[in-house]
A and B are shown apart, each in its own frame.
Chain A
Amino acid sequence: MDEIQKRLLQEVADLHEVPEGAYNIRANSQSAGRRSTANIEITSKEDVSGLEIRIRPGTKHESVHIPVVMTESGLKEVVYNDFYIGEDSDVVIIAGCGIDNCGNQDSEHDGIHRFFVGKGAKIRYVEKHYGSGDGRGKRILNPRTEVYMEENSSMEMEMVQIKGVDDTVRDTVAELAAGASLVVRERLMTHGEQRALSTYDVQLNGKDSSADVVSRSVARDRSFQKFDAKIVGKAPCHGHTECDSIIMDEGKILAVPGLEADHVDASLFHEAAIGKIAGEQLTKLMTLGLTEAEAEEQIINGFLR
C-alpha cells in the first residue's frame, strides 16, 4: 500500500497498522490483505465481487475490519458483502471507504451490505466515508445496507461522512423481529456542490422491537441533503426518528418524516429541526475570546461529534 492509501485507511478506519482480529483490506479493487480468525471467517464471493463474513455463534468481543480505499481515478466498482452474525455473539464491525481522486474521471464505490443478525446477537457497525484529492473527477459513494434482525438481537450503526464525498445515495432498510433493537447515528457534513441523499425504511415487525434513527448534519456552501426516514410499526413497538440539521451559506436540506403505524400499540415519533447556528451560541463563544469563525468551527465540531 502507498502513503495515500495508508492515509485513507487512517481516515476511514482509524487504522495505522494491520488491525487486530479479522480483516480484509480492499485497495483499488484488489485484496491488499485478509485474515480470518477461529470465530470469524472471511471468504470471497464466487459469482460477484464481495465478501462473505461468517461469525460463529457465541463469539464475544471480537472485531472485523473491512475498509476500502480507492486511489485510481475512473475506477467504478460494485461490491456485495454479506454478514452472517451468529446467535448470542457480540462483535464490532468496522467498514468504511476512502476515495482519493486526483484525476478527471469519476471514482465510484457502491457497497451493498447485508446483515443477517442471529438471535440475541449484538453488533456495533461503524461506516465512515471520506474523500480527498483535487481532481475534477467526482468521488461517489452509494451504500446500500440491508439489516435482517432476529429475535432479541441488537445493532448499533454509526454512519459518518464528514468530508470530501461529492455524491452519495445511502439507502438503508431493516426488518426487526420481536425484541430486536436498532440504533442508527448518522453524521453528515456536505460542502461545495456536494449532494447526499439518505433514505431509511425500518420495519418493526415483532413485539417490543424498537428503532432509533438519528441524523445530525451540516450543509454548507451550495450543497444539498435529503433525509428521508420512514419507520413502519406492525406490532407493539417503539420507533423514533430525528433529523437535526445546521444549514449554512446557500446549503439546502430536505427532511421527509415518515411514520406508519399498522398496529394500535405501535408508538412512533418523529422530530426534525433545520436552522442556522443560533446567534447566541456564537456570541457566547465570542465572549470567551473566540473569533466568529473559530466559534462556528467549535459549534459544528461539537454538533457532529
Chain B
Amino acid sequence: MLELKNVSFQVDAEGAEKEIVRDVNLTIPDRKLIVVTGPNGGGKSTLARLIAGIEKPTGGRIFFGGEDITDRSVTDRAKMGIAYAFQQPVRFKGIRVVDLIRIAAGKKVTAAEACEYLSAVGLCARDYVEREVNASLSGGELKRIEIATVLARHAKLSVFDEPEAGIDLWSFRNLIDVFRNMRETIEDSSILVISHQERILNIADEIVVIREGKVEKQGPREEVYPSLGADSAEAPACDRLLRNMREEGEDA
C-alpha cells in the first residue's frame, strides 16, 4: 500500500514559486488498479515521479508498506518494489532489449522468459531481444519495451505514466489486455496508471482526478467515471476521434 500524506511539490519558475502538486493526500491500496486522470499540466506525471523518487517532495511524506520512504533514493524504492514506466522511454546506445529485461528482472532471464514479457506487449521476441534500445526503434516499439521492463520486475507497485501515449492503435488494444492481465494476476500488488483513455478508465477499480495539483475526486470507478464526461475539460474530442478510428479499423 502506498500513502501520500500532504505531499506538495514546488518549483522555482522565473523567480516565482510555482506549486505543481498541492497538499495531496492519496492512498493506493493493495490489490487495486487505480487510474489517475485529469487535464494536462495538472500534476499527474509529477505525482508519478514523486512516487518513484525521481523528484523529492517539498512538503509532506510518502509511505510504502507502512514505511516512510520520503528520503529514500530511486534505487532504494525500486528495490523495495516500486516500478515505474516512463512516459517517454529512454534510449540507450549498445544496451539491448534483453539486457534491460535482465536488469529489470534482477536475475538471469532465459531467452524464453524474455520472450514472454515481449510477447505480452505484442512484440515478437525473436525480432527484438537482441536489438539495441536505441533510436532505430520507433516510439511505439520503445513504449512497449518500456512496459515489458516493468512487467519483468513483478513489483509490489507498478506505476505507468500515460502508457498509451505514442502507441499505435493496434498496440493500444494489446495494451488493454496487458493491464487486464496484470489486474487478474494482481495478488497483493497494486497498479497505478496515469491515463486519459476511457478503455483504461473502464478497467480501473478506482479513479482519481487530479486538477491544478490537487485531488479533485477519488472513488470507485462506478462513482467517478460518470461524472468525467459531463464536466470534463479534458479533451473528450481526442477520445472520440480515437474511438471513431478504432471502430472504422474494426469494420475493415
Residues of chain A at the chain B interface (Cβ within 8 Å): 216, 244, 278, 280-281, 283-292, 298-299, 301-305
Contacts and interface: CB of A to CB of B under 8 A. Distances in A.
B92 A302 contact: yes
B74, B89, B149 — most chain A CB neighbours (10 Å): B74
Nearest to B85: A287
B95 A289 contact: no
Dominant secondary structure of chain A at its interface with chain B: helix
Contacts of B100: 288
Contact of B83 (A244, A287, A292, A304): A287
21 contacts: A216-B93, A244-B93, A278-B90, A281-B92, A283-B74, A286-B73, A287-B52, A287-B74, A288-B78, A288-B153, A289-B78, A289-B79, A289-B103, A289-B104, A292-B75, A298-B99, A301-B94, A302-B96, A302-B99, A303-B94, A304-B94
A305 B94 contact: yes
Most buried by A among B79, B94, B132: B94
A289 B75 contact: yes
Given A288-B100, A304-B94, 9 more contacts: A280-B86, A287-B52, A288-B78, A289-B104, A291-B75, A292-B75, A299-B95, A302-B95, A303-B93
Interface in B67-121: 73-75, 78-79, 83-84, 86, 89-90, 92-96, 99-100, 103-104, 106
Given A292-B75, A302-B99, A287 B84 contact: yes
Contacts of B93: 216, 244, 302-303
Contacts of B149: 288
Interface of B: 52, 54, 73-75, 78-79, 83-84, 86, 89-90, 92-96, 99-100, 103-104, 106, 132, 149, 153
Contacts of B104: 288-289
B94 A285 contact: no
B103 A290 contact: yes
Given A298-B95, A298-B103, A286 B75 contact: yes
A283 B92 CA distance: 12
B145 to A, nearest CB: 11
A287 B52 CA distance: 7
Tell me which of A216, A278, A286, A301 has the highest count of chain B C-beta atoms within 10 A of its own C-beta: A286
Contacts of A299: 92, 95
Nearest to B86: A284
A215 B206 CA distance: 52
A281 B95 CA distance: 11
Nearest to B159: A287
A216 B73 CA distance: 31
A135 B104 CA distance: 41
Nearest to A304: B94
A286 B86 CA distance: 12
A1 to B, nearest CB: 34
Contacts of A287: 52, 54, 74, 78, 83-84, 86
Given A288-B103, A298-B103, A280 B90 contact: yes
What are the 7 A-B residue pairs with the smallest beta carbon separation, nearest first?
A: A302-B94, A302-B95, A289-B78, A286-B74, A284-B90, A305-B94, A288-B104
Contacts of B83: 287
A302 B153 CA distance: 21
B64 to A, nearest CB: 14
A287 B79 CA distance: 9
Contacts of A290: 75, 103
Nearest to A280: B90
A215 to B, nearest CB: 13
A278 to B, nearest CB: 7
Contacts of B99: 298, 302
Contacts of A292: 75
Contacts of B103: 285, 288-290, 298
A103 to B, nearest CB: 36
A303 B74 CA distance: 23
